[in-house]
């Protein structure tokens, strides 16, 4: 029997905090953690090195708090702390599944995570550990999408895989526009020009400028992570040119 293969040596998996909600209104649904770990388990035999960046929308959504007395900078730092909580939770679940992992944080929290240092994170990956990058970029005014692009570039990932609740990128919101057309491939320029809601413009520009492709795919469909990694044409891939 032929061993499965993947065109990718190292990937960055971007997970939204909202995905961790599952059926809850707030916090982390253990069933979603288990599902994510089972998806990662399904690609263990491919030998790909995995970096993960998680948002914090299940805990804190500063963008929605326009009437709050908390200023933007403080709100962004609260969100960064939320990503550390999510990352530690994911690490615990990964290790239950037999994966050695490290949480690497841009914010110093030595009791639960080690500091993010590029060379150290790369060494963890080379040793077969999953690296969960927490704390966003470590700076306010940047989203975890930008953090994902930055870490993907720093750690020489071959692709950013953005796991979402839809099965790709459309020319309109498919939840409100049933006639919306899905792109199989789209360029970074088209994403920016058409204002397609994929990742924030900073993240898209970073990936465009350095030729780091992005694939957007549906998270909560069993087997999708493996399908993406083995080259099946699911989701939408964003490239420099087509």
Tens-digit pLDDT profile for residues 34-61? 999 999 999 999 999 999 999 999 999 8
pLDDT of residue 242: 74
CA-only gyration radius of the chain, Å: 17
Q: 77-81, 125-129, 177-181 — which is least confidently predicted?
A: 177-181
The residue-averaged pLDDT of 101-105 equals 98
Q: 49-53, 59-63, 71-75, 209-213 — which is least confidently predicted?
A: 59-63
pLDDT of residue 238: 97
The residue-averaged pLDDT of 14-37 equals 96
Predicted TM-score (pTM) of this structure = 0.95
The residue-averaged pLDDT of 180-199 equals 94
Domains of the chain with bracketed CATH: 10-239 (3.40.1160.10)
Beta strands (DSSP E) in 157-227 are: 159-164, 169-170, 182-183, 185-187, 214-218
Percent over 90 (pLDDT), the chain = 89
Phi, psi of 177 (to 5 degrees): -130, 90
Alpha-carbon separation of residue 234 from 65, 123, 158 (angstroms): 35, 31, 17
Q: Give the pLDDT band (50/70/90) at residue 147.
A: very high
DSSP letter assigned to residue 2: P
Q: Write the CB contacts of 194 (distance below 8 Å, at least 6 apart in sequence).
A: 171
Q: Could you tell me if 103 and 93 are in contact, meaning their C-beta atoms sit under 8 angstroms apart? A: no
pLDDT of residue 97: 96
The rounded distance, in Å, linking the Cα atoms of 6 and 107 is 34
Q: Give the pLDDT band (50/70/90) at residue 197.
A: confident
The residue-averaged pLDDT of 2-21 equals 91
Q: Write the CB contacts of 42 (distance below 8 Å, at least 6 apart in sequence).
A: 223, 225, 226
The rounded distance, in Å, linking the Cα atoms of 101 and 13 is 14
The rounded distance, in Å, linking the Cα atoms of 173 and 165 is 12
Q: Write the CB contacts of 98 (distance below 8 Å, at least 6 apart in sequence).
A: none
pLDDT of residue 139: 97
86 is written with which tokens? Answer: 């999510």
Q: Please list, residue by residue across 15-40, b when 16 or more beta carbons sit within 10 angstroms of its beta carbon and e when fewer do.
A: bbbebbbbeeeeebeeebbebbbebb
């Amino acid at each position: 029997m032929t061993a499965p293969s993947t065109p990718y040596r190292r990937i960055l998996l971007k997970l939204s905090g909202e995905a961790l909600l599952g059926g809850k209104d707030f916090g982390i649904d253990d069933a979603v953690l288990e599902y994510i770990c089972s998806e990662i388990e399904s690609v263990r035999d491919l030998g790909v090195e995995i970096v993960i960046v998680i948002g914090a929308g299940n805990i804190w959504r500063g963008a929605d708090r326009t009437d709050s007395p908390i200023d933007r900078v403080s709100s962004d730092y609260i969100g960064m702390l939320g990503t550390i909580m999510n990352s530690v939770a994911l690490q615990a679940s990964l290790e239950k599944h037999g994966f050695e992992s490290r949480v690497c944080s841009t914010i110093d929290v030595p009791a639960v995570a080690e500091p993010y240092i590029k060379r150290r994170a790369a060494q963890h990956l080379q040793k077969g550990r999953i690296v969960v990058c927490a704390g966003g970029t470590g700076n306010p005014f940047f989203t975890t999408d930008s953090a994902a692009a930055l870490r993907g570039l720093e750690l020489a990932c071959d692709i950013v895989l953005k796991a979402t609740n839809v099965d790709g990128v459309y020319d309109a919101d498919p939840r409100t526009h049933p006639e919306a057309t899905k792109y199989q491939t789209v360029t970074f320029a088209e994403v920016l020009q058409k204002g397609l809601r994929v990742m924030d413009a900073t993240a898209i520009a970073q990936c465009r400028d350095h030729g780091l492709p992005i694939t957007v795919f549906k998270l909560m469909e069993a087997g999708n992570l493996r399908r993406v990694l083995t080259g099946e044409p699911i989701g939408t891939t964003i490239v420099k040119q087509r």
